[in-house]
Amino acid sequence: MRREHLPSSAYNTPFMTTNAGAPVWNDNNSLTVGPRGPVLLEDYHLIEKFAHFTRERIPERIVHARGASAKGFFEVTHDISHLTCADFLRAPGVQTPVIVRFSTVIHERGSPETLRDPRGFAVKFYTREGNFDLVGNNFPVFFTRDAIKFPDVIHAFKPNPKSHIQEYWRILDFCSYLPESLSTFSWFFDDVGIPTDYRHMEGFGVQTYTLVDKTGKCLYVKFHWKPTCGVKCLTDEEAVQVGGTNHSHATKDLYDSIAAGNFPEWKLYIQTIDPAHEDQLDFDPLDVTKWWPEDIFPLQPVGRLVLNKNIDNFFTENEMLAFNPGLVVPGIYYTNDKMLQTRIFAYGDTQRHRLGPNYLMLPVNAPKCPHRNNHYDGFMNFMHRDEEVDYFPSRYDNVRHAERYPIPSDICVGKREKCVIEKENNFKQPGDRYRSWAPDRQERYISRWVNALSDPRITYEIRSIWISYLTQVSSLFFKWWQPLQSN
């Protein structure tokens, strides 16, 4: 078929458009109320972009396809009832059943678990007030601060659509437009980029949530999982050896450890910020490309996570296990974190596409507490119901509203606009992290950058941009500027 007879495609216009052909004048920033949010659902291009992105693959997950799960419990060890009215955090000693899924982010379901890649760390709490899904990674930050660029980040890291080969020129080309990605690269190219296994891996909630106490007082919060057995990583050489021997080494290690009674355990810590004080910071605490310095916002212990039971069936409790950051419980709420705001929509939309509109009926996803709604019928609805009233309210049915619980009540004021978070400050944190390492760790980090920037398709322009960025991160990078530029 002649090119001019093809359906509308990238060949037809020099600028971005919607699927309907309308011009897109800003594909970098979500439409928000004021410069920070919340994000508006009327951002048609944002919703269209995510709705299409979450339907690109079936039935395998687009991201986090390669994963392993285990079951256990979370136990409160420290009283934080003065910070939140969440029932499952009400007192020390309270236990809540959980299921946890670990994963790699980019690669396919059958890929080796030794590839350099962020790892997912997702916990589903089956609380008495419904499910709370704490969906995070083993890095505390992400490559971009605005969710509208999330599909592009994943596309850049995924294999070339023409050759199906993952190539650094694609990654560094795209991220050269995102200096904020340096924060995540300071973890990605660090030793922690290849964990030894899932048991020896940290977890971070990444997103900023809100803790709400019974009076309605709010604090920003970040969640952190620290393994009791310590953090261990593979060198690049060890990863090649381990991956060449067993491409499922981390899944096997998790399964065998639990089967042997060597139950993996993590401590849960939180960091909190009073929203009234956020303007005093030199970064935006809701910016997902920033971590909160622990010397300013110390870790506060909360509880422990113990995985003491292997899953019964890989398909039903791993492949059909579905997480959604929108699933919160009273006492925990969202913030105007731009990434979180869009993930609340995108994750549920993904699961409804991948597993069907009734994915929350599946045993692994269903709440363990009593629940009720009027969501009837649809594909794969297997719940037996014999009610005659499927609407609310009704004088023939005594169901009522639940008791009111507090949520953040801050006033949203601002004009509709697409804009960048003001306090970008892209270079300080990755620089501080780099300077905190021992010289040998710095050398390994630099060597991985050199290897990536030596991709034969990396242009002089792209290489110069990255060297400029890295020199702003730390003047120590200057020593390899000239040798790399001459290659």
| Catalytic residue IDs | 64, 137
> Three-state DSSP class for 451?
helix
Sign of CA dihedral 312, 199, 54, 154: negative
Question: For residue 222, what are the β-bridge partners?
Answer: 271
DSSP string, 204-270: E--S-EEEE-TT--EEEEEEEEEETT---B--HHHHHHHHHH-TTHHHHHHHHHHHTT---EEEEEE
Contact 169, 451 (CB under 8 A): no
Element of type H or E holding 301: strand 300-310
Helix orientation angle between 338-354 and 150-157, rounded to the nearest 10 degrees: 70
Phi, psi dihedral angles at 62 (to 5 degrees): -70, -45
Sign of CA dihedral 436, 437, 438, 439: negative
3-state secondary structure 385-447: CCCCCCCCCCCCCCCCCCCCCCCCCCCCCCCEEECCCCCCCCCHHHHHHHHCCCHHHHHHHHH
CA-based radius of gyration for the chain = 23
Distance CA 180, CA 287 (A): 10
- Provide the 8-state DSSP code for 3: G
Contact 196, 232 (CB under 8 A): yes
Question: For residue 161, what are the β-bridge partners?
Answer: none
Number of residues that make up the chain: 487
Distance CA 298, CA 39 (A): 30
Candidates 103, 17, 27; CA nearest to 66 is 103
Contact 445, 190 (CB under 8 A): yes
Question: For residue 417, what are the β-bridge partners?
Answer: 32
Element of type H or E holding 93: none
Unique residue bearing structure tokens 């065998």: 256
Contact 207, 327 (CB under 8 A): no
Distance CA 354, CA 58 (A): 6
- Provide the 8-state DSSP code for 461: H
